Homo-oligomer: A and B are copies of this chain.
């Protein structure tokens, strides 16, 4: 194993090592509260100075992933990564049952604006039609696990921003407009480094990776309701694709 490192890549060695340790923990190489190899051993394995390993560990301690105890060693603090299901009936609140005791969706911002080409196409509207944009953050046990931007046809769903602010749930808000059921028509997935806004909203460290889904939700008879882009912090969330 022990993947090697790339120098003068624009990503410092300590961050590469921190990423690898994080990945190693997520892959199950270390149980919770298990001890990491001592710094000297890690330095040798990665072929770097002990101080460089210490920088990586310091970053992960800062993130709450590791816990260092002088004289004893360095231990895995928490290694939970939520498994977020994606399927025909993807619902934020339902999906994480059993994995987190407290789940909620927070409305950060809403706006009424003309639809961009991308959004208009997704919703099957004419370009420039008025749409309502909702910016929301999903939290599980107080920790941000998703950051979504959703668009709705302003004509059909006027006031959904208020409903969302009140109920804190897309599903509940749509019920007020007579939508009892909706399906996920398509999901396109990609990944990238988190931008500054996502770093702030998701409480991530620079260099963090986000999984990005772009989805269209439709009524059972195929009428587009919502166009949404959602960013998930890759270090805290994995996506499980279930039957559609």
A residues lining the B interface (CB < 8 Å): 3-6, 9-12, 14-16, 18-20, 22-23, 26, 28, 59, 81, 83, 86-87, 118, 186-193, 195-197, 199, 205-207, 209-211, 234, 238-244
Contacts and interface: CB of A to CB of B under 8 A. Distances in A.
A106 B106 CA distance: 47
A28 B207 contact: no
A28 B241 CA distance: 26
B241 A83 contact: no
B241 A186 contact: yes
A112 B54 CA distance: 38
A148 to B, nearest CB: 16
Contacts of A118: 28
A3 B204 CA distance: 15
A10 B9 CA distance: 11
Contacts of A186: 240-242
A196 B4 CA distance: 6
B10 A12 contact: yes
A9 B195 contact: no
Given A190-B234, A209-B192, A10 B11 contact: yes
Residue among A187, A205, A239 with max Cβ neighbours from chain B (10 Å): A239
Contacts of A207: 6, 9-11
Contacts of A18: 10
List 7 tightest A-B contacts by C-beta distance, closest first: A9-B206, A10-B15, A6-B206, A3-B195, A191-B191, A3-B196, A11-B207
A108 to B, nearest CB: 16
Nearest to A207: B11
Given A28-B118, A209-B209, A244-B244, A11 B189 contact: no
Contacts of A10: 11-12, 14-15, 18, 59, 206-207
A69 B28 CA distance: 48
Contact of A196 (B5, B190, B193, B205): B5
Nearest to A12: B10
A16 B15 CA distance: 14
Contact of A205 (B9, B28, B211, B241): B9
Residue among A195, A197, A199, A206 with max Cβ neighbours from chain B (10 Å): A195
A4 B10 CA distance: 17
B15 A86 contact: no
